[in-house]
Structure 1
Amino acid sequence: QLQWMDNSATEDGFSIEQKTGAGAYTQIVKTAANQTSYSVNGLSASTSYSFRIRSTKATAFSDYSNEATDVTWGTGNGLKAEYFNGTNFNTAVLIKTDTVINMDWGTGSPASVVNVDQFSARWSGQIEPRFSGIYTFYITSDNGRRLWIDNQLLIDKWIPDWDIEYSGAICELQAGKKYDIKLDYFEDNGGANCKLQWSSDKQVKQIIPKNQLYSLITTAVNDPRKDNSTISIYPNPTDGKIFITVGETTVNSTLVLITINDIHGQAVYQKQFKTNEIIEINSDKFLSKGIYFLSLQGNEKIIIRKIVVQ
């Protein structure tokens, strides 16, 4: 929203002009007299916009105001999060999307399937700066951490210390461009937390927000005409129970971890079952009407299917 001071007593309105990036200014609206704010809509994500204002009276104009420039937020959804039992990514137990890296599990763990102690995590995807410049990244965690940005190792403190802020800088990143990011973490014993921040000469130090992180996890649904997997999910759509059968060879495991995520990537259900058996889930107890994505995870293989609750 734009706001300004009305320093004129005789204007008949205000002319608001806008430009995108290094483009030319054009008038987007003429407001009424005595108005001091205006909400600009229809802006594109991850784009730099500049605005200037001047008062008008008939065909006469005042001098322009100062120029106000800002960059709109991205459309990210967070990072892909992989959790493992063991401090060296030993046994994969959970995959989901974490919106930000600002976790404090206390003396607990990220989920019931993850060990309270001796677990590890890997967050990956892409990061998109809003402003160009040299960026510094910061990690505070309990315990070890390693961070790569654009395939460059910036922080490498794979040691069991805790609550120490480590930082690393990278050469200039371009606004609106996506860069690969990977953060490895392990928890040894006791408390567990991990926080990821960034800063630059234009970016205040902050937790990296969800809008600027992209998980790259696809929600595409497998086409059964091209998928020879032994999977049955019925009824779908459902208004109550869901019955699932998963063949052992489908997920290369005698066990399958079933996770149901909402359309925002948040896990609303998770439980491990044996393969080659009929699995019954009472969806009406925890799912409201809508679209969900059911993840079937075995030994290094994940299959995603869409389910609809009516």
Structure 2
Amino acid sequence: MRTKRLRDRLALLLAAALGVAGLAAVPAAHAADAHDTAEIHGLKGEYYTQSAPGAFDFHELKATGFDPQLDFDTLEPRLAFATGQSDDVSVRWTGKLVPEKTGAHTFSIIGDNGFRLWIGGRLAIDHWVDDWDREQTAEPIE
């Protein structure tokens, strides 16, 4: 159990370091090479400030970066780095998920002041409310 917790913490620290680097520098686009086997895993994060306290909108885009994973202990330092503030900020993550195994998958989110999860163009979790730390779970998705 202790080893798993340590491994999870190390993975989180690595993800945070990679995520901050992803916000700071975006690699230049290049043509795909037949010998280029690098794979990128993660989601594109777009970090916005809100138009007013409690507005819960996507008012002004402040930063775009790559997030290798979304399992954060706290987003406040990342939000402050990306937008200059840690409150009244919205983030939109987009990308593609490729499961390791076939079959039904269940998604859950726990967050601060509202979130929505769309999968395949379908709203799977709609919790756009002013509360925090209330985990929401979607129906299993094939």
TM-score range, shorter chain: 0.5 to 0.7
Counterpart AA for 2:43:
L
Counterpart position of 1:85: 49
Higher strand share goes to which structure?
Answer: 1
Structure 1 vs Structure 2: percent identity of aligned residues? 36
Return the offset for 1:113: 4.6
Stretches (4+) displaced over 6 A: none
Given that 1:134 and 1:169 are in contact with CA atoms closer than 8 Å, whether structure 2 keeps it comes out as no
Structure with larger RCO (C-alpha < 8 A, sep 6+): 2
Any idea what SS the aligned residue of 1:105 has? coil
2 CA distance for matches of 1:96 and 1:107? 16
Counterpart position of 2:105: 135
TM-score, with structure 1 as normaliser: 0.30
Any idea what SS the aligned residue of 1:120 has? strand
Return the offset for 1:109: 4.7
Counterpart position of 1:160: 130
Any idea what SS the aligned residue of 2:111 has? strand
In structure 1, the gaps of 5 or more residues are 1-74, 173-310
1:149 aligns with 2:119: yes
2 CA distance for matches of 1:149 and 1:97? 19
Any idea what SS the aligned residue of 1:110 has? helix
Give 1 or 2 for the bigger CA radius of gyration. 1
Counterpart position of 2:69: 100
Any idea what SS the aligned residue of 2:136 has? strand
In structure 2, the gaps of 5 or more residues are 1-38, 51-55
- Report the number of matched residues: 98
Return the offset for 1:117: 1.0
Given that 1:84 and 1:120 are in contact with CA atoms closer than 8 Å, whether structure 2 keeps it comes out as yes
Counterpart position of 1:229: none
Mark the CA change 1:82 to 1:117 in structure 2 (over 3 Å): closer, same or farther. same
Instruction: Note the alpha carbon deviations across 1:13-56, whole angstroms, 9 max, x for none.
Output: xxxxxxxxxxxxxxxxxxxxxxxxxxxxxxxxxxxxxxxxxxxx
Over aligned residues, Cα RMSD in angstroms? 1.8
Counterpart AA for 1:139:
I
Higher helix share goes to which structure?
Answer: 2
1 CA distance for matches of 2:93 and 2:141? 22
Return the offset for 1:106: 6.3
2 CA distance for matches of 1:127 and 1:103? 18
Any idea what SS the aligned residue of 1:103 has? coil
